[in-house]
């Protein structure tokens, strides 16, 4: 049975990461970005509850009108309490010209405060950071809840995660698919598309843009050409339009495209993308609650969740294919290369792993199955390092 307090009691890993960064001398501005409804505000409030020095929390969503004067006022309220004072501004993207204002205040007295900025619109936050705050901040990316988190907080099984996983707020509606679907569509997806994207980015045909999202969610862990995607849209356009749509959905933490791995970078840039939906719930919305009854669909979504978990690590993630030989994921970090094959019972050719290692002898082959997925999901880096050390 779902209990809303369970999500509030569970502490996601980014909280400890934030705390560690803030306790050093003269930390940079900490910026928290990620999808809607995954506990960013809850996590920051958990940190505030045990922060050892003075703190001031302000939410731009709590007042009817905001301008740069409001932001300056919050900054000045925190200043008298000392340099270790923590200032948290939530929904920062709702303050006009927020990034320029923060830059001005920070540059006047670097290190005068410890600052966390966060908000519900990841696209607007990232745009402001790139425009004004270069060199002054560190970014922490949160994502939809992974298997290990939902297992700890709500006792999820793997099958339950592969069907409904991603958003803790939807847990209480799982017994009624229509309510579950309505919550995700209206409270999360439409909020992202309607508020975060369409109000702030130029999209010529909003109906086509929404249609593109539904189409992309049908292809978890599948390579698909931009031309094929374009052909499924009920409108004329070009491949640049599809690339732009995918870029916006990726920035909003909904869909992630992977490029093909190649030793030649220009071949990587020109490849067809492999689509990763950011969590199983986005696939189930389109396919229905009995999606796991189809071995092909089950295999695709399991492969996608492995890919998304790898995508959250530092480094670069690709896929690889040459003719009929393919590797599900190629992960590269600090000179180490991993060739990751995902096995879930779905019928597919498996000779690609050997072919890749023959072509790239330094690569460590990794096989992930439902049996070892729990260990992998709990700490992917440790899992990969352990595999590499055994070879």
The two structure tokens encoding residue 67: 């301008």
pLDDT at 306: 98
Domain span holding position 190: 147-389
Same domain assignment for residues 61 and 177: no
Whether 48 and 131 share a structural domain: yes
Distance from C-alpha of 309 to C-alpha of 380, rounded to nearest angstrom: 7
For 131-175, the DSSP string reads HH-TTSEEEEE--S--HHHHHHHH---HHHHHHHTT-GGGGGGTT
- Number of folded domains in the chain? 2
Is residue 111 domain-shared with residue 187, that is, in the same domain? Answer: no
Tokens (6 digits) for 239: 């491949």
Q: How much is the pLDDT for 22? A: 95
Give yes or no: residues 113 and 129 share one domain. Answer: yes
Positive or negative: CA dihedral 359, 364, 367, 373: negative
Which among 141, 157, 186 is the end of a domain?
A: 141
208 and 318 belong to one structural domain:
yes
pLDDT at 1: 43
- Same domain (yes/no): 108, 185: no
- The total of other beta-carbon atoms located within 10 Å of residue 78's CB is 22
**pLDDT of 2:** 46
pLDDT tens for the chain, residues 1 to 391:
445 556 668 999 999 999 999 999 899 999 999 999 999 999 999 999 999 999 999 999 887 777 889 999 999 999 999 889 999 999 999 898 899 999 999 999 888 999 999 998 888 888 888 778 888 999 999 999 999 999 999 999 999 999 999 999 999 999 999 999 999 999 999 999 998 899 888 888 898 999 999 999 999 999 998 888 888 887 667 788 889 999 999 999 999 999 999 876 555 566 899 999 999 999 999 999 999 999 999 999 999 999 999 999 999 999 999 988 999 999 999 989 999 999 986 555 567 899 999 999 999 999 999 999 999 999 999 999 898 777 6
Residues 40 and 118 in one domain: yes
106 and 162 part of one domain: no
Are 78 and 188 contained in the same domain?
Answer: no
Same-domain pairing of 251 and 333: yes
The per-residue pLDDT for 300 is 95
Same domain, 172 and 245: yes
Query: How far apart (Å, rounded) are the C-alpha atoms in residues 377 and 360?
Result: 26
CA distance 145 to 285: 17
Please tell me the predicted confidence (pLDDT) of residue 227.
87
Domain boundary residue among 78, 108, 141?
141
258 and 166 inside one domain = yes
Domain edge (last residue) among 123, 141, 159 = 141
CATH number for the domain spanning 44: value is: 3.40.50.300
Alpha helices for 260-359 (secondary structure H)? 265-269, 280-287, 295-311, 352-359
């Amino acid at each position: 049975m779902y209990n809303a307090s369970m999500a509030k009691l569970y502490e996601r890993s980014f909280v400890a990461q934030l705390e560690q960064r803030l306790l050093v001398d003269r930390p940079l501005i900490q910026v928290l970005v990620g999808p809607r409804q995954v506990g960013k505000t809850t996590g920051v409030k958990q940190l505030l509850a045990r922060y050892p020095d003075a703190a001031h929390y302000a939410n731009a969503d709590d007042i009817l009108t905001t301008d740069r004067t409001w932001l300056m006022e919050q900054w000045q309220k925190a200043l008298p309490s000392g340099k270790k004072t923590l200032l948290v501004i939530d929904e920062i993207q709702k303050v006009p010209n927020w990034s320029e204002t923060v830059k001005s205040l920070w540059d006047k007295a670097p290190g005068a405060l410890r600052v966390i900025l966060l908000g519900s619109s990841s696209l607007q936050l990232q745009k402001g950071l790139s425009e004004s705050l270069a060199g002054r901040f560190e970014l922490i990316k949160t994502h939809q809840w992974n298997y290990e988190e939902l297992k700890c907080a709500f006792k999820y099984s793997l099958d339950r995660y592969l069907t409904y996983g991603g958003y803790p707020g939807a847990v209480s509606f799982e017994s009624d698919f229509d309510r579950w679907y309505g919550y995700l569509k209206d409270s999360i997806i439409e909020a992202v598309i309607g508020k975060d994207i369409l109000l702030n980015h130029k999209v010529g045909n909003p109906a086509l843009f929404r249609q593109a999202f539904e189409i992309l969610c049908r292809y978890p862990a599948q390579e698909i050409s931009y031309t094929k995607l374009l052909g499924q849209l009920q409108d004329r356009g070009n491949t640049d339009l599809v690339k732009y749509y995918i870029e916006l959905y990726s920035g909003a933490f909904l869909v992630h495209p992977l490029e093909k791995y190649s030793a030649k970078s220009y071949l990587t840039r020109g490849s067809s993308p492999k689509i990763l939906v950011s969590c199983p719930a986005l696939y189930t919305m389109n396919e229905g609650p009995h999606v796991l009854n189809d071995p092909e669909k089950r295999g695709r979504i399991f492969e996608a969740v492995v890919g998304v978990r790898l995508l959250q690590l530092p480094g670069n993630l690709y896929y690889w294919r040459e003719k009929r030989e393919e590797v599900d994921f190629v992960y590269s970090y600090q000179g180490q290369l991993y060739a990751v094959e995902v096995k879930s019972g779905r019928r597919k050719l498996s000779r690609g792993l050997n072919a890749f290692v023959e072509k790239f002898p330094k690569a460590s082959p990794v096989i992930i199955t439902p049996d070892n997925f729990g260990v992998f999901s709990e700490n992917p880096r440790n899992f990969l390092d352990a595999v590499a050390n055994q070879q």
